[in-house]
Structure formats: structure tokens, C-alpha cells
Amino acid sequence: MTTNILENIDLRTLGELLQQARKKCSMTQADAAKIIDAARTTVIAIEKGERRIRPNELIKLARAYGRSVSDFVRPRPVVQPFEVQFRAVYQRSQEQQAEIEPFISKLEELCQNYLELEKIMEAPLPQNYPLEYQVTNMPIKSTAESIAVAERQRLGLGDAPISELRDILEQDVGLRIFYLQMPQKYSEVYGYNEEVGGCMAINSNHPEERRRWSMAHGYLHFLAHRQKPEFHFDCQYQRFPESEQLAETFSKYFLMPTSGLLKRFNDIHRTNSKFTPTNLFTLAHYYGVSVEALSYRLEEMELLPSGTWDKLRDRGLKVRKVQEELGLEQIPQRIDIMPLHYQHLAIEALDQGLITEGRFAEFLHVDRLESRRIAEALREYSSGMREEDTDFDLRQIQTAGK
């Protein structure tokens, strides 16, 4: 006889989960009571963990909340609700709260899924976190450059362009970076807590140059204001606070380090005896930044006259058109919603029979058919090997061969 899970589950946790789910779909306790044909006080007691829920009540509530029953009963890592951390952000811009909340809630859910996959596969995400940089009362420009140089050195990036920033931050630092579709004005969400570590949601609707800038921006928040969540959007401030100035300045130095940029500019200038708009476009593409950002950076370094970008823009420069004419291919990018490590954990769990196909699809936030297509692609990515072929220790081959 199977044990009844509802007799053994932690009632308070289950109650909290039910309450969160009810609130997320804007239902009242009275609404929930109607669904299970009970008094409101019964729902209150269930949500407080004071009354054991019956199987058919749980099934009815899960259906009404648009959730799986398994969301409530399977063992999942407990994550402190992001809502608590982001309260300060909401307070700063209350009118935005309704619009922002769904993205924060989605980021929280994705992070929780990530932790669950790590637990299933017994493979925690390796974290290579530096100590938090102390920036209080420090001059912004030199502090930003100093952190950028230190981080480049720590990550072995030298002063070269960073081609795949997302992969580096995900795999070499251990941040959880998701690409979410958000309205144009939003760029990036950064959050941190003890269970999850550092995580970000980047607006996948933006061009890659901007996404990279947003990632660098969020990375500074992780490096210097780790515990402070952030939701970055256009026209957010009338006057930029120092933390934001630092993040913007850091992005500039991190993506376009002075020494490397100076060297490359000089090489081009020496070879051609001039620095043309074509050179500007090519160099921006090489660094994976916008032409505008590079122009301002070169102006600031006194390599181009002040006002160069403004003049180009006033002449009606069409950046995308010129990029197409110059045949500048898209800069390397991976626009999947999920981090690569997350996807690999999910496919390994599926192929080892540790999760069902339905759960795999849920982890990837797609329907079953799309999940099968992704599974095929992921298996091909793993050197064309499949299932049991990929689940062995390569080091054992040498031992067995001896």
C-alpha cells in the first residue's frame, strides 16, 4: 500500500504554496472556498497548515489555479520568494509594480526549477564568486575601471573583446542568466539570495549588443551591490544614483577595456592612415557593442573628436542598414530562454529516466512537441551521442584499457 503523501507532507509549506498560487491568479479565499465547496475558514486553515487537505480538494484547487498537482507535492528546493527582496524596487516605482511583477515571478520560478534540476542530477552549479567589491564613497570612474580590469584578469579574459559574455558569466562565474521577452523599456532584472546565488533576466527582445550591455550592467550589481535586487528600465531615474552610474561605467570598461581598444584603434589607424566609419562599425562588431557606445568610448579616450557620434547621427546614419551593407554578420549569441547548463541538466535527467517527458517540457517552458525538438538538438550538441552513451565516466576507459 502506497503511503498517502498528504498525510506526510509538511502542511505549512503546502499551505504557503497554495496561498502563493491563489494570489498569483488573483483569487480570494472565498473564491477558493467555493471551488472546494467549503467554508472560507477551511481555506484559511489549509493555507495556514492547520487543516489537512484532501486529494480531491488539492486536485480542484490546482486546476482552478492553472497549476499541476505535482507542483504542490513533489519535493522542490525552497526558495525565499523574490517578492520579499524586490519590495524595495516596487516601492521606488509603484506604478510599475503590476507590470514588473510577472517577470520577477517568472525569474523566481526559473531559478527554482534550476535548483530542482541540480538536485535531481546531484550537480550543483559551480560558483566562482569573488568577494563583494567595496565601492562606498569611491570615485566612480576609476572604481569602475579597476573592477573591470580585476574581473577580466580573474576570468582570464585579458584585454580582448569578450565574444560570448553570457556563457562566461553562466559557466565561469556561475550566474543564472535567463532571456525573457519583456516590453522594450525593460533591460534587465538582477536578484540574489543565499539559495539561488546571483541571477539575471535579460530582455530577449533587445539586440544582442544591448543584451550584452545589460548583462555587464547586472554583473556590476552582482559584484558591488550583491544583496540589492535591481530592475533596470528606461527613464527610471531623473537623476542617476551612484550605483547606476557605476554599473553603466563598468559596462563600458568591461566590454571595451582601455588598453585593448587603444591598441586595436592604433593598429587600424596606422595601417590605413585614417579611421573611417567602416572601421568604426567593424570595431563595434568586433567588441560586440553598439556603434553608439563605441563612438562615445573613443571620444572619451580622445581618439575621436568630441561630438563624432552626434554628427553621424545628425547626418541620418542608419546603423542596421550600414551593418548589412558591410556584411557584418550577427555577433555570436545564444538567445535560448534557459542557461546552457540548465538545458543540459534537463536533457540528462530525461535521458536517464529521472524525469518524465512532460516534466522536461515544463522545465523548458514549452509544449511536448517543442521539447522533443529541443531534446534532439541537445543530444546532437552532445557530440551526436545519445542516452546511455553519454552517461559514463570517460576516465574509466583508460583504467579499463590498462
Partner 1 sequence: MQITHSHILLDACCVINFCASGQFLAILKSLPAEIVVTTVVQERELKTLQRLQEEENDALLVEFDEAIQQGLLKVVDFESEDEEESFVNYAVDLDDGESATCAIAVHRKWAIATDDDKAIKFLQKKFLHVQILSTPEIIKHWSEKQSIDSLVLSNVLNAIRIKGHYVPPKNDPLRNWWQKSSE
Contact residues toward partner 1 (CB under 8 A) are 2-6, 55-56, 58-59, 68-70, 73-75, 350-351, 353-359, 362, 367-370, 372-373, 375-376, 386-388
Q: Report whether 283 contacts 264 (CB < 8 A).
A: yes
264 contacts: CB under 8 Å, gap ≥ 6? 283, 286
Given a contact cutoff of 8 angstroms between Cβ atoms, the answer to whether 32 and 24 are in contact is no
Task: Kindly tell me which of 6 and 79 has the beta carbon lying closer to partner 1.
Answer: 6
Q: What is the smallest separation between the CB atom of 57 and partner 1, expressed in angstroms? A: 10
Residue 162's Cβ-side half-sphere holds a number of Cα atoms within 13 Å equal to 30
Residue 303 burial (10 A CB sphere; 0-12, 13-18, 19+): middle
Nearest distance from residue 111's CB to partner 1, in Å? 20
Are 284 and 294 within 8 A, CB to CB?
yes
State the burial class of residue 199 (Cβ atoms within 10 Å of its Cβ: 0-12, 13-18, 19+): buried
At its nearest, how many Å lie between partner 1 and the CB of residue 15?
Answer: 16
In the complex, the smallest distance separating the C-beta of residue 389 from partner 1, rounded to whole angstroms, is: 8
Question: Of 75 and 305, which has the nearer Cβ to partner 1?
Answer: 75
What DSSP designation does 354 have? S
Which CB sits closer to partner 1, 57 or 209?
A: 57
Minimum CB separation of residue 150 from partner 1 in Å reads 45
Question: How many other CB atoms are found less than 10 A from the CB of residue 10?
Answer: 10
Give whichever of 210 and 365 is closer to partner 1, judged by the CB atom.
Answer: 365
Give the list of residues 6+ apart from residue 358 with CB closer than 8 angstroms, or none: 368
Between 71 and 299, name the residue whose CB sits nearer to partner 1: 71
Task: Name which of 33 and 73 has its Cβ closer to partner 1.
Answer: 73
**Cβ nearer to partner 1, comparing 154 with 368:** 368
- Dihedral, CA of residue 223, residue 224, residue 228 and residue 229, to nearest 10: -40
Distance separating alpha carbons of residues 42 and 83, to the nearest angstrom: 26
Shorter beta-carbon distance to partner 1: residue 205 or 390:
390
CB of 52 to partner 1, least distance (A): 12
- Judged by beta carbon, residue 166 or residue 359, the one nearer partner 1 is 359
Rounded least distance, CB 34 to partner 1, Å? 19
> Which CB sits closer to partner 1, 4 or 266?
4
Q: How far is the CB of 9 from partner 1 (least distance, A)?
A: 9
Contact 349, 121 (CB under 8 A): yes
Smallest separation (angstroms) from partner 1 to the CB of 61 = 12
Give min distance, CB of 14 to partner 1, in A: 11
The pairs formed by 319-322 with CB atoms below 8 angstroms and a separation of 24 or more are 319/281, 319/290, 319/291, 319/292, 322/277, 322/281
Distance of CA 334 to the CA centre of its chain: 12
The Cα 191–Cα 218 span in angstroms is: 9
Residue 402 and residue 388: Cα distance in Å, rounded?
Answer: 23
What sign does the dihedral 21-25-28-33 (CA atoms) show? negative
Shortest approach of partner 1 to residue 33 CB, angstroms? Answer: 19
C-alpha–C-alpha distance, residues 188 and 180, integer Å: 9
CB closer to partner 1 out of 46 and 215: 46
